Amino acid sequence: MGEIKSYKDLKVWQKGIQIVKLVYILTEQISESEKYNLKSQIKRSATSISSNIAEGYGRESTTDFCRFLRNARGSLFELETQLIIIKEVGLNFNEVVMTDLEGLLEEENKMLNALLKSLK
């Protein structure tokens, strides 16, 4: 395993960036009327996942890092809920992108849980 020199080396952070990319692709199809509501909220929660991982890593304290990893997991659950809302209210979305995104969220959750467990 390679040495971790930066938060950018963390696979869990890298997967968070993949999630953001897919969210931006997915939200392109959401109507402009939702631009400042659900569309904006989805982008914020997706961005918050990797942002919390980076911020926690930068605190240079295991306790702080764990707290920010839990925040990242909370943002992940928030995003997952927002994706459910997209489906339930019948907004336009790309089903392939949605499926890929749901898979990434599942992987990211497992990675966050494993990292938290390893740091305890």
pTM: 0.92
69 Cβ neighbours under 8 A, 6+ residues apart:
52, 53, 56, 112, 115, 116, 119
**Residue written as token pair 């897919």:** 22
For residue 17, CA distances in Å to 56, 96, 99, 119 come to: 16, 18, 17, 22
How close are the terminal C-alpha atoms of the chain, in Å? 21
User: CATH fold of 10-119, please?
Assistant: de novo design (two linked rop proteins) (1.20.1440)
pLDDT at position 36: 64
As averages over each run of 10 residues, the pLDDT of the chain (120 residues) reads 82 98 92 76 97 96 97 98 92 92 98 96
The full set of domain ranges for the chain reads: 10-119
Query: With b meaning 16 or more CB within 10 Å and e meaning fewer, what string describes 35-60?
Result: eeebbeebbebbbbbbbbbbbbbeee
